[in-house]
Structure 1
């Protein structure tokens, strides 16, 4: 058994985040000590580690809730989990592609700037030309 502070240290999570996950049902309500302090088990730390890793991979809380529910039936097929992970991978690939376009545009406008006067600044000019950067969004 451990306190919320110990659980936070063990999982690297903020105490308020742990309480929030309890409120929304991602973490079951803990038992309480006679003095009212929350008491957590090792299984709670494992569940929070699962949630944290899922968040680190970019899954939103709704998806994490689904993954936790799917995990509860170990004999079931993992096809749904694979589909969810594949969707996340595609979303990450899409973000990377957009970031590459953004990087290329920033590189272009910074290398075109000669460092002269503001009136001739290519960076300001590029930022003012909304039509030229709409394709980045």
Structure 2
């Protein structure tokens, strides 16, 4: 597959990341915190996959995406993305896992609000990075 394919893939994934973020905001407004946490994580995950597409990297697991993001954009990157960015994403994954799989987990409005702030930050940062390179 060629560069044009991966650029288009990055754009499509970024659009989906923003849709997922909007869904998360709506769920927070309806006090559906666990579902909002799920959508927020997937917004981050989709934006990471968009970013990886700019490097023609495909992953099949969440963990694989996080590892590739960490290696390509934190460890080996130009400094645009920081270890703090990685921590925001790793924290989102933990919250999403608890929200989806821990029957006794109680999600709070404040935690979900903070997660959505982090999600918006990551999705926008990745979107800006991609826009500078392919739009």
Same fold, judged at TM 0.5 (above): no
Larger-gyration structure (1/2): 1
Higher relative contact order (CA 8 A, sep 6+): 2
Richer in helix (by share): 2
TM normalised by structure 2 equals 0.29
